[in-house]
Structure 1
Amino acid sequence: MSAPERIPARRVSTRDPELLARGELHVRGQIREASNAVLLCTVKDGDREATCVYKPVRGERPLWDFPDGTLAQREVAAYEVSEALGWGLVPPTVLRDGPYGEGMCQWWIDTPEEPSDGDGLLALVDGEEPGEGWKAIGFAEVAEGRTALLVHADDPRLRRLAVLDAVINNGDRKGGHLLVDEEGRLYGIDHGVTFNVEDKLRTLLWGWAGEPLTEEATGALEALRDRLREGEPLALRLGELITAAELDAVRERVAALLKSGRHREPSGEWPAIPWPPV
Protein backbone atom coordinates (compact mmCIF):
# COMPACT_ATOMS: atom_id res chain seq x y z
CA MET A 1 0.00 0.00 0.00
CA SER A 2 1.36 3.43 -0.87
CA ALA A 3 0.03 6.92 -0.33
CA PRO A 4 -1.02 9.01 -3.30
CA GLU A 5 1.13 11.76 -1.82
CA ARG A 6 3.30 12.33 1.20
CA ILE A 7 1.32 14.30 3.74
CA PRO A 8 3.31 16.39 6.19
CA ALA A 9 2.13 15.93 9.75
CA ARG A 10 3.50 16.87 13.14
CA ARG A 11 5.59 14.03 14.49
CA VAL A 12 4.48 12.49 17.75
CA SER A 13 6.97 10.83 20.06
CA THR A 14 5.24 7.44 19.99
CA ARG A 15 2.64 5.77 17.82
CA ASP A 16 -0.10 6.34 20.35
CA PRO A 17 -3.36 4.42 19.83
CA GLU A 18 -5.15 6.99 21.98
CA LEU A 19 -4.47 9.66 19.36
CA LEU A 20 -6.10 7.38 16.78
CA ALA A 21 -9.07 6.69 19.02
CA ARG A 22 -9.79 10.22 20.25
CA GLY A 23 -8.40 12.58 17.62
CA GLU A 24 -10.49 14.24 14.93
CA LEU A 25 -10.29 12.49 11.57
CA HIS A 26 -9.83 14.55 8.40
CA VAL A 27 -10.06 12.60 5.13
CA ARG A 28 -7.33 13.58 2.65
CA GLY A 29 -7.86 11.05 -0.14
CA GLN A 30 -8.61 7.48 -1.15
CA ILE A 31 -6.14 4.67 -1.74
CA ARG A 32 -7.67 3.24 -4.90
CA GLU A 33 -5.49 0.13 -5.24
CA ALA A 34 -7.27 -1.47 -2.27
CA SER A 35 -10.15 -3.93 -2.74
CA ASN A 36 -12.17 -2.28 0.06
CA ALA A 37 -12.64 1.41 0.82
CA VAL A 38 -9.38 2.74 2.29
CA LEU A 39 -9.14 6.43 3.15
CA LEU A 40 -5.95 8.29 3.92
CA CYS A 41 -6.55 10.67 6.82
CA THR A 42 -4.97 13.07 9.23
CA VAL A 43 -5.89 12.61 12.89
CA LYS A 44 -5.59 15.65 15.16
CA ASP A 45 -5.85 16.14 18.90
CA GLY A 46 -4.80 19.60 20.04
CA ASP A 47 -1.25 20.21 18.81
CA ARG A 48 -0.70 16.52 18.06
CA GLU A 49 -1.20 15.31 14.51
CA ALA A 50 -0.45 12.13 12.57
CA THR A 51 -1.29 10.34 9.35
CA CYS A 52 -3.49 7.26 9.44
CA VAL A 53 -5.62 4.90 7.37
CA TYR A 54 -9.38 4.70 7.93
CA LYS A 55 -11.39 1.76 6.59
CA PRO A 56 -15.12 2.30 7.18
CA VAL A 57 -17.21 -0.83 7.66
CA ARG A 58 -19.70 0.37 5.04
CA GLY A 59 -16.89 0.21 2.45
CA GLU A 60 -16.17 -3.49 2.98
CA ARG A 61 -16.91 -5.86 0.11
CA PRO A 62 -18.95 -8.92 1.15
CA LEU A 63 -16.97 -12.18 1.30
CA TRP A 64 -18.48 -15.64 1.00
CA ASP A 65 -16.48 -17.07 3.92
CA PHE A 66 -16.61 -14.18 6.42
CA PRO A 67 -19.63 -12.51 8.03
CA ASP A 68 -20.48 -9.13 6.49
CA GLY A 69 -19.19 -6.04 8.26
CA THR A 70 -16.57 -7.76 10.42
CA LEU A 71 -13.26 -7.03 8.69
CA ALA A 72 -12.52 -3.89 10.70
CA GLN A 73 -12.94 -5.77 13.99
CA ARG A 74 -10.59 -8.49 12.75
CA GLU A 75 -7.92 -5.91 11.94
CA VAL A 76 -8.15 -4.58 15.49
CA ALA A 77 -8.06 -8.12 16.92
CA ALA A 78 -4.87 -8.82 14.94
CA TYR A 79 -3.27 -5.74 16.51
CA GLU A 80 -4.32 -6.86 20.00
CA VAL A 81 -2.78 -10.32 19.50
CA SER A 82 0.40 -8.83 18.05
CA GLU A 83 0.75 -6.62 21.11
CA ALA A 84 0.12 -9.57 23.42
CA LEU A 85 2.93 -11.51 21.74
CA GLY A 86 5.20 -8.55 22.49
CA TRP A 87 6.48 -8.12 18.94
CA GLY A 88 4.70 -4.96 17.79
CA LEU A 89 4.28 -6.31 14.27
CA VAL A 90 0.98 -4.55 13.52
CA PRO A 91 0.73 -0.74 13.53
CA PRO A 92 -1.52 0.69 16.27
CA THR A 93 -5.10 -0.04 15.21
CA VAL A 94 -8.40 0.99 16.80
CA LEU A 95 -12.11 0.69 16.10
CA ARG A 96 -13.81 4.06 16.09
CA ASP A 97 -16.43 6.27 14.52
CA GLY A 98 -15.40 8.43 11.58
CA PRO A 99 -16.79 10.59 8.78
CA TYR A 100 -18.32 7.52 7.11
CA GLY A 101 -19.34 5.62 10.21
CA GLU A 102 -17.59 3.02 12.32
CA GLY A 103 -14.37 1.63 10.95
CA MET A 104 -10.81 0.60 11.52
CA CYS A 105 -8.23 3.36 12.02
CA GLN A 106 -4.55 2.42 11.74
CA TRP A 107 -1.33 4.37 12.03
CA TRP A 108 0.23 5.15 8.64
CA ILE A 109 3.72 3.69 8.21
CA ASP A 110 6.13 5.88 6.28
CA THR A 111 8.53 3.86 4.17
CA PRO A 112 11.76 5.15 2.61
CA GLU A 113 11.30 6.73 -0.80
CA GLU A 114 14.40 4.87 -1.97
CA PRO A 115 14.73 1.66 0.09
CA SER A 116 18.25 0.30 0.48
CA ASP A 117 19.17 -3.14 -0.83
CA GLY A 118 19.06 -4.44 2.75
CA ASP A 119 15.33 -3.77 2.92
CA GLY A 120 14.56 -6.44 0.33
CA LEU A 121 12.36 -9.14 1.84
CA LEU A 122 11.27 -10.96 -1.33
CA ALA A 123 13.15 -11.91 -4.49
CA LEU A 124 13.10 -14.08 -7.59
CA VAL A 125 16.26 -16.12 -8.17
CA ASP A 126 17.43 -18.50 -10.86
CA GLY A 127 18.13 -22.09 -9.94
CA GLU A 128 16.54 -24.49 -7.49
CA GLU A 129 18.17 -23.36 -4.25
CA PRO A 130 17.40 -20.10 -2.43
CA GLY A 131 20.97 -19.21 -1.51
CA GLU A 132 22.40 -18.07 1.79
CA GLY A 133 20.16 -15.76 3.77
CA TRP A 134 17.00 -16.73 1.89
CA LYS A 135 14.15 -19.20 2.28
CA ALA A 136 12.33 -20.83 -0.62
CA ILE A 137 8.60 -20.24 -1.17
CA GLY A 138 8.06 -21.94 -4.52
CA PHE A 139 8.51 -21.58 -8.26
CA ALA A 140 6.79 -18.83 -10.21
CA GLU A 141 6.36 -18.33 -13.93
CA VAL A 142 8.01 -15.05 -14.89
CA ALA A 143 7.92 -14.84 -18.71
CA GLU A 144 7.49 -17.02 -21.79
CA GLY A 145 7.28 -20.20 -19.77
CA ARG A 146 10.44 -19.43 -17.79
CA THR A 147 10.28 -20.06 -14.06
CA ALA A 148 12.20 -18.59 -11.16
CA LEU A 149 12.36 -19.45 -7.50
CA LEU A 150 10.40 -17.06 -5.27
CA VAL A 151 12.20 -16.56 -1.96
CA HIS A 152 11.86 -14.52 1.20
CA ALA A 153 14.59 -13.31 3.52
CA ASP A 154 15.68 -15.53 6.40
CA ASP A 155 14.90 -12.63 8.69
CA PRO A 156 13.89 -12.93 12.37
CA ARG A 157 11.30 -10.19 11.88
CA LEU A 158 9.58 -12.22 9.17
CA ARG A 159 9.87 -15.35 11.28
CA ARG A 160 7.94 -13.70 14.09
CA LEU A 161 5.33 -12.58 11.57
CA ALA A 162 4.97 -16.16 10.34
CA VAL A 163 4.10 -17.19 13.92
CA LEU A 164 1.60 -14.35 14.29
CA ASP A 165 -0.05 -15.33 11.00
CA ALA A 166 -0.39 -18.92 12.18
CA VAL A 167 -2.07 -17.74 15.40
CA ILE A 168 -4.54 -15.37 13.73
CA ASN A 169 -5.10 -17.70 10.74
CA ASN A 170 -4.18 -15.05 8.18
CA GLY A 171 -5.74 -15.83 4.82
CA ASP A 172 -3.88 -13.18 2.82
CA ARG A 173 -0.21 -12.51 3.66
CA LYS A 174 0.99 -10.92 0.44
CA GLY A 175 4.34 -9.27 -0.17
CA GLY A 176 2.63 -5.89 -0.45
CA HIS A 177 1.43 -6.31 3.13
CA LEU A 178 5.01 -6.12 4.44
CA LEU A 179 6.23 -2.62 5.28
CA VAL A 180 9.64 -1.58 6.59
CA ASP A 181 9.65 1.91 8.06
CA GLU A 182 12.39 4.52 7.92
CA GLU A 183 13.94 3.08 11.08
CA GLY A 184 14.08 -0.46 9.68
CA ARG A 185 11.16 -1.79 11.68
CA LEU A 186 8.92 -4.36 9.99
CA TYR A 187 5.12 -4.17 10.06
CA GLY A 188 2.41 -6.35 8.61
CA ILE A 189 -0.81 -4.72 7.45
CA ASP A 190 -4.21 -5.72 5.99
CA HIS A 191 -5.54 -8.27 8.48
CA GLY A 192 -9.22 -8.28 7.57
CA VAL A 193 -9.36 -11.94 6.50
CA THR A 194 -8.20 -13.45 9.77
CA PHE A 195 -9.56 -15.45 12.73
CA ASN A 196 -11.75 -17.76 10.67
CA VAL A 197 -12.66 -20.97 12.48
CA GLU A 198 -11.68 -23.00 9.40
CA ASP A 199 -8.02 -23.28 8.43
CA LYS A 200 -7.41 -20.40 5.99
CA LEU A 201 -3.67 -19.81 6.39
CA ARG A 202 -2.38 -18.47 3.09
CA THR A 203 0.98 -16.73 3.11
CA LEU A 204 4.30 -16.16 1.43
CA LEU A 205 6.14 -16.91 4.67
CA TRP A 206 6.43 -20.70 4.35
CA GLY A 207 10.24 -20.74 4.48
CA TRP A 208 10.33 -22.12 8.03
CA ALA A 209 7.48 -24.63 7.56
CA GLY A 210 8.09 -27.65 9.76
CA GLU A 211 11.17 -26.16 11.42
CA PRO A 212 11.36 -25.90 15.24
CA LEU A 213 10.03 -22.71 16.77
CA THR A 214 12.61 -20.44 18.32
CA GLU A 215 12.82 -20.19 22.11
CA GLU A 216 11.61 -16.61 21.78
CA ALA A 217 8.51 -17.73 19.87
CA THR A 218 7.77 -20.52 22.34
CA GLY A 219 7.98 -18.11 25.26
CA ALA A 220 5.75 -15.58 23.52
CA LEU A 221 3.17 -18.26 22.70
CA GLU A 222 3.16 -19.52 26.29
CA ALA A 223 2.50 -15.99 27.55
CA LEU A 224 -0.23 -15.55 24.94
CA ARG A 225 -1.86 -18.83 25.99
CA ASP A 226 -2.11 -17.54 29.56
CA ARG A 227 -3.58 -14.21 28.43
CA LEU A 228 -6.24 -16.01 26.37
CA ARG A 229 -7.74 -17.77 29.39
CA GLU A 230 -11.33 -17.07 30.30
CA GLY A 231 -11.72 -13.77 32.15
CA GLU A 232 -8.31 -12.38 31.20
CA PRO A 233 -8.37 -8.82 29.76
CA LEU A 234 -7.12 -9.94 26.35
CA ALA A 235 -9.74 -12.70 26.13
CA LEU A 236 -12.45 -10.22 27.08
CA ARG A 237 -11.24 -7.71 24.51
CA LEU A 238 -11.09 -10.30 21.72
CA GLY A 239 -14.56 -11.44 22.73
CA GLU A 240 -15.77 -7.96 21.72
CA LEU A 241 -14.17 -8.24 18.28
CA ILE A 242 -14.58 -11.86 17.12
CA THR A 243 -17.04 -14.64 17.90
CA ALA A 244 -16.73 -17.07 20.80
CA ALA A 245 -16.04 -19.90 18.35
CA GLU A 246 -13.30 -17.86 16.68
CA LEU A 247 -11.72 -17.08 20.05
CA ASP A 248 -11.74 -20.78 20.94
CA ALA A 249 -10.06 -21.47 17.59
CA VAL A 250 -7.28 -19.00 18.48
CA ARG A 251 -6.70 -20.89 21.72
CA GLU A 252 -6.60 -24.17 19.80
CA ARG A 253 -4.07 -22.84 17.29
CA VAL A 254 -1.79 -21.59 20.05
CA ALA A 255 -2.04 -24.94 21.83
CA ALA A 256 -1.26 -26.80 18.59
CA LEU A 257 1.82 -24.70 17.93
CA LEU A 258 3.12 -25.28 21.45
CA LYS A 259 2.39 -29.01 21.27
CA SER A 260 4.19 -29.48 17.95
CA GLY A 261 6.97 -27.00 18.75
CA ARG A 262 7.22 -26.30 15.04
CA HIS A 263 6.17 -23.75 12.46
CA ARG A 264 2.94 -24.48 10.61
CA GLU A 265 3.00 -26.39 7.36
CA PRO A 266 0.44 -26.05 4.54
CA SER A 267 -2.67 -28.10 5.20
CA GLY A 268 -3.12 -29.13 1.56
CA GLU A 269 -6.83 -28.30 1.84
CA TRP A 270 -6.52 -24.59 0.99
CA PRO A 271 -4.26 -22.70 -1.44
CA ALA A 272 -1.06 -22.13 0.48
CA ILE A 273 0.05 -18.96 -1.31
CA PRO A 274 -2.16 -15.88 -1.90
CA TRP A 275 -2.85 -14.62 -5.40
CA PRO A 276 -1.41 -12.38 -6.56
CA PRO A 277 1.55 -13.05 -4.23
CA VAL A 278 2.60 -9.39 -4.13
Structure 2
Amino acid sequence: MPDADLLDGELELTGRITTASNATFLGEIAGVTVVYKPIAGENPLWDFPDGDLASREAAAYLVSEAFGWNVVPRTWLRDGPMGPGMTQLWQDADPEQDAVDLVPAEEVPADGWRQVLEGEDGNNRRVALIHEDSAALRRMAVFDIVVNNADRKGDHILAMPDGHRHGVDHGLTFHAEHKLRTVLWGWIGDDLSDDELAGVDRVRAQLAGDLGDTLAALLTPAELAALAARCDRLRSEGRFPGPEGEMPAVPWPLF
Protein backbone atom coordinates (compact mmCIF):
# COMPACT_ATOMS: atom_id res chain seq x y z
CA MET A 1 0.00 0.00 0.00
CA PRO A 2 1.38 3.48 -0.85
CA ASP A 3 2.48 5.60 2.11
CA ALA A 4 -0.07 8.27 1.22
CA ASP A 5 -2.92 5.82 1.83
CA LEU A 6 -1.69 4.91 5.31
CA LEU A 7 -1.05 8.55 6.19
CA ASP A 8 -4.14 10.15 4.71
CA GLY A 9 -6.64 7.36 4.06
CA GLU A 10 -9.74 7.14 6.21
CA LEU A 11 -9.09 5.39 9.52
CA GLU A 12 -12.21 3.44 10.50
CA LEU A 13 -12.37 2.09 14.05
CA THR A 14 -13.47 -1.55 14.33
CA GLY A 15 -12.95 -2.33 18.02
CA ARG A 16 -11.24 -1.41 21.28
CA ILE A 17 -8.48 -3.24 23.15
CA THR A 18 -9.85 -3.00 26.69
CA THR A 19 -6.84 -4.55 28.43
CA ALA A 20 -4.62 -1.56 27.55
CA SER A 21 -4.01 1.12 30.20
CA ASN A 22 -4.47 3.91 27.62
CA ALA A 23 -7.16 4.25 24.98
CA THR A 24 -6.25 1.71 22.29
CA PHE A 25 -8.34 0.86 19.26
CA LEU A 26 -8.31 -1.53 16.34
CA GLY A 27 -9.00 0.04 12.98
CA GLU A 28 -8.67 -0.32 9.25
CA ILE A 29 -7.19 1.88 6.56
CA ALA A 30 -8.24 0.68 3.10
CA GLY A 31 -8.47 -2.90 4.37
CA VAL A 32 -5.19 -2.83 6.34
CA THR A 33 -5.63 -3.58 10.06
CA VAL A 34 -3.94 -1.13 12.41
CA VAL A 35 -3.70 -0.25 16.09
CA TYR A 36 -4.60 3.36 16.88
CA LYS A 37 -3.73 5.13 20.15
CA PRO A 38 -5.00 8.72 20.28
CA ILE A 39 -2.97 11.21 22.31
CA ALA A 40 -6.25 12.37 23.87
CA GLY A 41 -6.64 8.91 25.46
CA GLU A 42 -3.24 8.86 27.19
CA ASN A 43 -3.10 8.78 30.99
CA PRO A 44 -0.25 10.81 32.55
CA LEU A 45 2.16 8.79 34.70
CA TRP A 46 4.31 9.97 37.59
CA ASP A 47 7.55 9.31 35.69
CA PHE A 48 6.20 10.29 32.25
CA PRO A 49 3.95 13.18 33.30
CA ASP A 50 4.11 15.35 30.20
CA GLY A 51 3.77 12.75 27.38
CA ASP A 52 3.11 12.48 24.70
CA LEU A 53 3.46 8.72 24.55
CA ALA A 54 2.51 8.54 20.87
CA SER A 55 5.65 10.44 19.88
CA ARG A 56 7.78 8.00 21.89
CA GLU A 57 6.18 5.09 20.07
CA ALA A 58 6.97 6.70 16.73
CA ALA A 59 10.54 7.38 17.89
CA ALA A 60 10.95 3.74 18.96
CA TYR A 61 10.04 2.59 15.46
CA LEU A 62 12.60 4.93 13.91
CA VAL A 63 15.36 3.60 16.20
CA SER A 64 14.25 0.04 15.41
CA GLU A 65 14.67 0.81 11.73
CA ALA A 66 18.13 2.20 12.37
CA PHE A 67 19.08 -1.06 14.08
CA GLY A 68 17.84 -2.90 10.97
CA TRP A 69 16.25 -5.70 12.99
CA ASN A 70 12.52 -5.06 12.46
CA VAL A 71 11.82 -5.18 16.20
CA VAL A 72 8.98 -2.64 16.11
CA PRO A 73 6.18 -3.00 13.55
CA ARG A 74 5.73 -0.03 11.25
CA THR A 75 4.51 2.89 13.36
CA TRP A 76 3.62 6.45 12.43
CA LEU A 77 1.75 9.52 13.68
CA ARG A 78 -1.45 10.63 11.98
CA ASP A 79 -4.89 12.06 12.63
CA GLY A 80 -7.78 9.76 13.46
CA PRO A 81 -11.38 9.74 14.70
CA MET A 82 -10.23 10.84 18.19
CA GLY A 83 -7.54 13.23 17.03
CA PRO A 84 -3.81 12.82 16.44
CA GLY A 85 -2.20 9.65 17.68
CA MET A 86 0.03 6.67 17.07
CA THR A 87 -0.87 4.17 14.37
CA GLN A 88 0.84 0.80 13.98
CA LEU A 89 0.42 -2.13 11.63
CA TRP A 90 -1.39 -5.00 13.35
CA GLN A 91 0.57 -8.25 13.70
CA ASP A 92 -0.98 -11.74 13.77
CA ALA A 93 1.10 -13.45 16.46
CA ASP A 94 1.18 -17.23 16.88
CA PRO A 95 -1.01 -18.13 19.90
CA GLU A 96 0.85 -21.44 20.25
CA GLN A 97 4.19 -19.76 20.98
CA ASP A 98 5.31 -18.01 24.17
CA ALA A 99 8.64 -16.19 24.13
CA VAL A 100 8.23 -15.42 27.86
CA ASP A 101 6.56 -17.71 30.37
CA LEU A 102 5.95 -18.50 34.03
CA VAL A 103 6.59 -22.15 34.89
CA PRO A 104 6.87 -24.19 38.10
CA ALA A 105 10.34 -23.56 39.53
CA GLU A 106 11.24 -27.24 39.28
CA GLU A 107 10.29 -27.37 35.59
CA VAL A 108 12.64 -24.76 34.12
CA PRO A 109 13.89 -26.18 30.78
CA ALA A 110 17.56 -27.09 30.74
CA ASP A 111 18.21 -25.80 27.22
CA GLY A 112 16.94 -22.95 25.05
CA TRP A 113 15.66 -20.80 27.91
CA ARG A 114 16.98 -18.26 30.41
CA GLN A 115 15.64 -17.82 33.92
CA VAL A 116 15.05 -14.25 35.10
CA LEU A 117 13.71 -14.65 38.62
CA GLU A 118 11.95 -17.01 41.00
CA GLY A 119 9.05 -16.29 43.33
CA GLU A 120 5.68 -17.51 44.61
CA ASP A 121 2.31 -17.40 42.90
CA GLY A 122 -1.01 -16.70 44.61
CA ASN A 123 -1.13 -20.28 45.87
CA ASN A 124 2.34 -20.13 47.46
CA ARG A 125 3.83 -22.32 44.73
CA ARG A 126 7.37 -21.61 43.58
CA VAL A 127 7.40 -20.32 40.00
CA ALA A 128 10.11 -19.06 37.67
CA LEU A 129 9.97 -16.31 35.07
CA ILE A 130 11.78 -17.50 31.95
CA HIS A 131 12.31 -16.33 28.39
CA GLU A 132 13.63 -18.06 25.33
CA ASP A 133 17.33 -17.87 24.53
CA SER A 134 17.09 -16.74 20.91
CA ALA A 135 18.85 -14.29 18.62
CA ALA A 136 15.56 -12.48 17.97
CA LEU A 137 14.92 -11.90 21.66
CA ARG A 138 18.53 -10.87 22.31
CA ARG A 139 18.14 -8.19 19.65
CA MET A 140 14.98 -6.96 21.36
CA ALA A 141 16.82 -6.78 24.69
CA VAL A 142 19.58 -4.69 23.09
CA PHE A 143 16.94 -2.42 21.55
CA ASP A 144 15.27 -2.01 24.96
CA ILE A 145 18.56 -1.01 26.59
CA VAL A 146 19.19 1.67 23.96
CA VAL A 147 15.66 3.15 24.05
CA ASN A 148 15.48 2.81 27.86
CA ASN A 149 12.25 0.82 27.79
CA ALA A 150 10.45 1.13 31.11
CA ASP A 151 7.71 -1.37 30.31
CA ARG A 152 8.86 -4.55 28.51
CA LYS A 153 6.15 -6.91 29.72
CA GLY A 154 5.85 -10.48 28.50
CA ASP A 155 2.71 -9.67 26.53
CA HIS A 156 4.53 -6.85 24.76
CA ILE A 157 6.51 -9.50 22.86
CA LEU A 158 4.70 -10.94 19.85
CA ALA A 159 5.88 -14.40 18.81
CA MET A 160 5.41 -14.58 15.06
CA PRO A 161 4.84 -17.91 13.27
CA ASP A 162 8.19 -17.72 11.42
CA GLY A 163 10.20 -17.32 14.64
CA HIS A 164 10.51 -13.56 14.44
CA ARG A 165 9.66 -11.54 17.56
CA HIS A 166 8.04 -8.12 17.43
CA GLY A 167 8.01 -5.70 20.35
CA VAL A 168 5.02 -3.40 20.87
CA ASP A 169 3.83 -0.77 23.38
CA HIS A 170 6.78 1.60 23.48
CA GLY A 171 5.17 4.68 25.01
CA LEU A 172 7.37 4.47 28.12
CA THR A 173 10.75 4.90 26.43
CA PHE A 174 13.54 7.44 25.96
CA HIS A 175 13.42 8.94 29.46
CA ALA A 176 16.58 10.93 30.19
CA GLU A 177 16.94 9.06 33.51
CA HIS A 178 17.57 5.31 33.80
CA LYS A 179 14.17 3.57 33.64
CA LEU A 180 14.89 0.11 32.20
CA ARG A 181 12.17 -2.28 33.42
CA THR A 182 12.02 -5.52 31.50
CA VAL A 183 11.38 -9.26 31.68
CA LEU A 184 14.43 -9.83 29.44
CA TRP A 185 17.22 -9.99 32.03
CA GLY A 186 18.43 -13.48 31.15
CA TRP A 187 21.73 -12.45 29.53
CA ILE A 188 23.20 -10.25 32.30
CA GLY A 189 26.97 -10.09 31.90
CA ASP A 190 27.03 -11.92 28.56
CA ASP A 191 29.11 -10.35 25.79
CA LEU A 192 27.25 -8.70 22.93
CA SER A 193 27.71 -10.44 19.60
CA ASP A 194 29.34 -8.76 16.63
CA ASP A 195 25.90 -8.39 15.06
CA GLU A 196 24.51 -6.71 18.17
CA LEU A 197 27.47 -4.34 18.44
CA ALA A 198 27.10 -3.45 14.77
CA GLY A 199 23.44 -2.61 15.40
CA VAL A 200 24.37 -0.22 18.21
CA ASP A 201 26.98 1.36 15.92
CA ARG A 202 24.36 1.92 13.21
CA VAL A 203 22.04 3.72 15.60
CA ARG A 204 24.83 5.86 17.04
CA ALA A 205 26.07 6.88 13.61
CA GLN A 206 22.60 7.81 12.38
CA LEU A 207 21.92 9.92 15.46
CA ALA A 208 24.48 12.35 14.06
CA GLY A 209 22.50 12.64 10.82
CA ASP A 210 18.95 12.27 9.57
CA LEU A 211 17.78 10.07 12.46
CA GLY A 212 18.83 12.64 15.02
CA ASP A 213 17.11 15.41 13.05
CA THR A 214 13.86 13.44 12.85
CA LEU A 215 13.92 12.41 16.51
CA ALA A 216 14.43 16.04 17.52
CA ALA A 217 10.76 16.65 16.65
CA LEU A 218 9.65 13.76 18.88
CA LEU A 219 11.99 13.88 21.90
CA THR A 220 13.58 16.55 24.09
CA PRO A 221 17.24 17.56 23.73
CA ALA A 222 17.98 15.89 27.08
CA GLU A 223 16.37 12.64 25.92
CA LEU A 224 18.34 12.71 22.66
CA ALA A 225 21.59 13.25 24.56
CA ALA A 226 20.75 10.38 26.91
CA LEU A 227 19.98 8.13 23.93
CA ALA A 228 23.41 8.79 22.45
CA ALA A 229 25.05 8.25 25.84
CA ARG A 230 23.35 4.86 26.26
CA CYS A 231 24.69 3.80 22.86
CA ASP A 232 28.18 4.89 23.83
CA ARG A 233 28.06 3.13 27.19
CA LEU A 234 26.69 -0.11 25.78
CA ARG A 235 29.28 -0.10 23.00
CA SER A 236 32.09 0.61 25.45
CA GLU A 237 31.09 -2.09 27.95
CA GLY A 238 30.18 -4.60 25.24
CA ARG A 239 27.95 -6.73 27.43
CA PHE A 240 24.38 -6.98 28.66
CA PRO A 241 24.01 -4.80 31.77
CA GLY A 242 22.24 -5.70 34.99
CA PRO A 243 19.65 -3.68 36.91
CA GLU A 244 20.84 -0.49 38.56
CA GLY A 245 19.43 2.03 41.01
CA GLU A 246 16.60 1.57 43.48
CA MET A 247 13.72 1.34 41.01
CA PRO A 248 12.09 -2.03 40.22
CA ALA A 249 13.97 -3.99 37.56
CA VAL A 250 10.85 -5.62 36.12
CA PRO A 251 7.50 -4.11 35.17
CA TRP A 252 4.35 -4.95 37.09
CA PRO A 253 2.37 -6.85 36.19
CA LEU A 254 4.86 -9.04 34.37
CA PHE A 255 2.36 -9.79 31.60
Deviations 1:104-123 (A, max 9, x none): 000001123x52xxx23123
CA distance in 2, matches of 1:191, 1:87: 16
Deviates more, 1:72-81 or 1:146-155: 146-155
Alignment of 1:105-120 (within 5 A): 105-112=87-94, 114-115=95-96, 119-120=97-98
Is contact 1:26–1:42 with CA below 8 Å preserved after alignment? Answer: yes
Is contact 2:104–2:125 with CA below 8 Å preserved after alignment? Answer: no
Partner residue of 1:34? 20
Q: CA deviation at 1:199?
A: 0.4
* 1:96 aligns to 2:73 (yes or no): no
Q: CA deviation at 1:22?
A: 2.7
Distance 1:129 1:180, change over 3 A: closer
Task: From 227, 241, 244, give the equivalent of 1:250.
Answer: 227
Deviates more, 1:193-202 or 1:182-191: 182-191
Alignment of 1:50-65 (within 5 A): 50-65=32-47
- Gaps spanning 5+ residues in structure 1: where? 1-11
Is contact 1:73–1:95 with CA below 8 Å preserved after alignment? Answer: yes
Q: CA deviation at 1:130?
A: 5.2
Q: Residue type of the partner of 2:220? A: T
* 1:204 aligns to 2:183 (yes or no): yes
Distance 1:128 1:265, change over 3 A: farther
Partner residue of 1:72? 54
Is contact 2:105–2:128 with CA below 8 Å preserved after alignment? Answer: yes
Is contact 1:138–1:150 with CA below 8 Å preserved after alignment? Answer: yes
- Gaps spanning 5+ residues in structure 2: where? none
Is contact 1:20–1:105 with CA below 8 Å preserved after alignment? Answer: no
Q: Residue type of the partner of 2:116? A: I
Partner residue of 2:218? 241
Q: Residue type of the partner of 1:174? A: K
Is contact 1:58–1:69 with CA below 8 Å preserved after alignment? Answer: no
Is contact 1:130–1:151 with CA below 8 Å preserved after alignment? Answer: no
Deviations 1:26-60 (A, max 9, x none): 0111111110000110012xxxx200011000000
Is contact 2:150–2:179 with CA below 8 Å preserved after alignment? Answer: yes
Is contact 2:176–2:223 with CA below 8 Å preserved after alignment? Answer: yes
CA distance in 2, matches of 1:186, 1:257: 22
Is contact 2:27–2:33 with CA below 8 Å preserved after alignment? Answer: yes
Partner residue of 2:249? 272
Q: Residue type of the partner of 1:271? A: P
Partner residue of 1:7? none
CA distance in 1, matches of 2:169, 2:25: 13
Calculate the TM-score normalised by the size of structure 1.
0.87
* 1:82 aligns to 2:64 (yes or no): yes
Deviations 1:192-240 (A, max 9, x none): 00000110000000001111101101011112111111xx110011101
Task: From 37, 43, 48, give the equivalent of 2:29.
Answer: 43
CA distance in 1, matches of 2:49, 2:68: 29
* Paired residue total: 254
Distance 1:81 1:144, change over 3 A: same
Task: From 180, 189, 194, give the equivalent of 2:159.
Answer: 180
Q: CA deviation at 1:23?
A: 2.2
Is contact 1:20–1:94 with CA below 8 Å preserved after alignment? Answer: no
Is contact 1:126–1:148 with CA below 8 Å preserved after alignment? Answer: yes
Distance 1:18 1:164, change over 3 A: farther
Aligned residues with identical type, % of pairs:
46
Partner residue of 1:122? 100
Q: CA deviation at 1:163?
A: 0.3
Alignment of 1:205-244 (within 5 A): 205-229=184-208, 232-244=209-221
Task: From 239, 245, 254, give the equivalent of 1:262.
Answer: 239
Alignment of 1:134-145 (within 5 A): 134-145=113-124
Q: CA deviation at 1:147?
A: 1.1
